[in-house]
Amino acid sequence: MKEKTHRTVSTLLTLTLLLIITVGVPAVAATVPVPILVPEPTPEGLTPPEDLLEMNFTKLQISPRHNGMDLMPGESDEFTVKVTNMDNKTVSLTPAFKDQPYNEYVFDPDWITITPTAAELGIDSSEEFTIRVEIPEDAERGHYNTQVAFTDEVMPTPYPSPYPQYINALDMYVSVWKPPTIQMQPSYIRDRVESGKGYDYVIHLKNTGKEDVKIDPKLEKERWYGYEMTSPAFEDDAITIDAPSVVPAGGTATVDVHLLVPAGAKGNYEGGIDLNFNDSSLDEWDRMVHLSFYVWTQPTEHFIKEFTTEIAAPITIEVTSEQYRYDTCGGGSSGSGEDEEPSFDVTLEGPNGEDVVLTRTMAAHHGSVNLGESDCLPPWEIESSGMYDEGRTKYIERYTADGAAGDWKLGILPQYVEEFEYMIIIGDAGSGHGMS
């Protein structure tokens, strides 16, 4: 018994010594055995069938393999599919309509006609099939998917499949659509606003139908805009809506939207106005006017840029701002035109620490005008005088001052400018050489 205990202790001491030696060996020198993965046997009942391994199927070239149509109720269209036998044997074709699973809208087989109904294809021979689709007057608007299988061969699977995957098949996509009864302009309102101020917007509606359409505009939250993680700049009660209860048949109407930005508001507001009318040709998203407001805060301190000149030469300062008109209609900040013209308060401090007299030598306005595609006026109200849509403007100011060698400090305070560029030219401004 003592001898056995002695051997056990000796063995433990030996293992401990080996562990200590192993720990002391550098990681680079240590050899880590890579485990060998032994494939597990296939569970009973899941043995792949022989046809899955061999994949012996009829080889056809189908052109096209995919086809899409946009049809309104009562319309029809047709197209041709060419099927070529790429196999080394004669093939019998019996094209058949196959419904697709998991579709919201089910394609009715009575809507489709295939001609011819069958064909025998010899080696390297082809056949053209005409597929005609007729949409009935009472068809529901939506997207329909279906297949036309030319053989009954399906993709083999190691397990039973409730929906077979046909190998030699044509995929068809049919979009049944209707023109909207209610037309609206704009579909979104985006604006830069200031706290404590009020803004007005107009939504234009036109009823192209033969019956009056009831509307009941209400504010709705739109979480998918991505601002749900932050608090909005203001609550919904800052927005009021004034609208009629109906849009008359063949007539027009307007929805007036007023925004009174609370004092001290900061940040963004994202939301939408659900016009609440019934029109099967439009999705719920398309019956909304989306709102996006950015509460503008005017800076009160100058942007400062320090620079050094090595020569006594004139200094030219050029400041440029580029403005994009916000997507506002019938008012808003882009339509007020009162006090939102961009401008700059530019200062220059010389090497002696005193302000230098700046002389403004140039102010320029640039613009980009589009004809005939105004985001504000609806098509039914555009006249010749309202064709012009100025979507982008640029404002430039240039100043000069007597220069001297030393350290300088440029200050720029923008007014109604969201971004600007500056250029500092030392020496002859006409030469185009300078620093910034």
Show the 3-state SS of 161-218.
CCCCCECCEEEEEEEECCCCCEEEECCEEEEEEECCCEEEEEEEEEECCCCCEECCCE
CA 184/CA 253 separation, integer angstroms: 10
Q: Tell me the H-state helices in 105-155.
A: none
Reference 277, options 193, 182, 385, 199; nearest CA is 182
310: CB partners within 8 A, 6+ apart: 405
Last residue in a domain, options 160, 176, 192: 176
What is the pLDDT at residue 234?
93
| Whether residue 167 is found in the same domain as residue 196 | no
37-51, 241-255, 390-404: segment of lowest average pLDDT: 37-51
pLDDT over 80 (residue 26): no
- Asked if 340 and 319 sit in the same domain, the reply is yes
Q: How many domains does the chain have?
A: 3
Residue 44 CA, distance from chain mean position: 49
Q: What's the confidence (pLDDT) of residue 238? A: 95
Residues 189 and 276 placed together within one structural domain of the fold:
yes
**Domain shared by 197 and 162, yes or no:** no
CA atoms within 13 A on the CB side of 201: 32
Q: How confident is the model at residue 378 (pLDDT cuts 50, 70, 90)?
A: low
> Which of these, 156, 164, 161, 152, lies nearest to 49 by C-alpha position?
156
Place of tokens 């994202």: 270
- At 14, is the pLDDT very low, low, confident or very high (cuts 50, 70, 90)? very low
pLDDT at 374: 58
Together in a domain, 279 and 341? no
CB–CB of 411/349 below 8 Å? yes
Residue 1 lies in a domain: no
Give a yes or no: residue 79 inside a domain.
yes
Q: What are phi and psi of 368, to 5 degrees?
A: -125, 120
Q: Transcribe 306-369 into DSSP letters.
A: EEEESS---EEEEEEEEEE--S--SSSHHHH-SS---EEEEEEE-TTSSBPPPEEEEEEEEEEE
347 and 278 in a common domain? no
Q: State the number of CA atoms in the 13 A half-sphere of 104 facing the CB.
A: 7
Asked whether the beta carbons of 280 and 176 are under 8 A apart, the reply is no
Instruction: Report if residue 409 sits inside a domain.
Output: yes
Of 128, 144, 176, the last residue of a domain is 176
Instruction: Give the CATH number, domain containing residue 390.
Output: 2.60.120
Q: Report the range of poorest mean pLDDT among 12-26, 123-137, 419-433.
A: 12-26
- Residue 23 maps to a domain: no
> Per this entry, what is the length of the chain?
436
Q: Name beta bridge partners: 397.
A: 319, 363
Boundaries of domain holding 268: 182-296
Q: What is the mean pLDDT of residues 274-284?
A: 85
Average pLDDT, the chain: 81
Q: What's the one-letter identity of residue 21?
A: I
On whether residue 216 sits in a domain, the answer given is yes
| Residue 29 confidence (pLDDT) | 39
82 and 170 both lie in a single domain: yes
Mean pLDDT of 109-117: 94
The pLDDT value given to residue 159? 79
- In a shared domain, residues 312 and 280: no
Write out pLDDT tens, residues 71-104. Answer: 999 999 999 999 999 999 999 999 998 887 777 8
Top pLDDT among 434 and 126 is at 126
137 and 62, same structural domain? yes
Give the CA dihedral 19, 21, 26, 32, nearest 10 degrees. Answer: -40
Q: Tell me what percent of the residues of the chain surpass a pLDDT of 90.
A: 52
Last residue of a domain, one of 296, 326, 358: 296
Note the pLDDT of residue 179. 87
For residue 297, give every residue at least 6 positions away whose Cβ sits within 8 Å of its Cβ, in sequence order, or none.
195, 266
CB 415 within 8 A of CB 344: yes
Most confident of 120-134, 184-198, 289-303: 120-134
pLDDT value, residue 339: 52
Q: What is the pLDDT of residues 327-358, one digit of tens each?
A: 555 455 654 445 578 899 999 999 999 999 99
- Start-to-end CA span in the chain (Å): 92
Between 31 and 97, the more confident residue is 97
What pLDDT, on a 0 to 100 scale, did the predictor assign at position 432?
A: 43
If we measure between CA atoms, which residue out of 415, 414, 413, 410 comes closest to residue 436?
410
How much is the pTM? Answer: 0.63
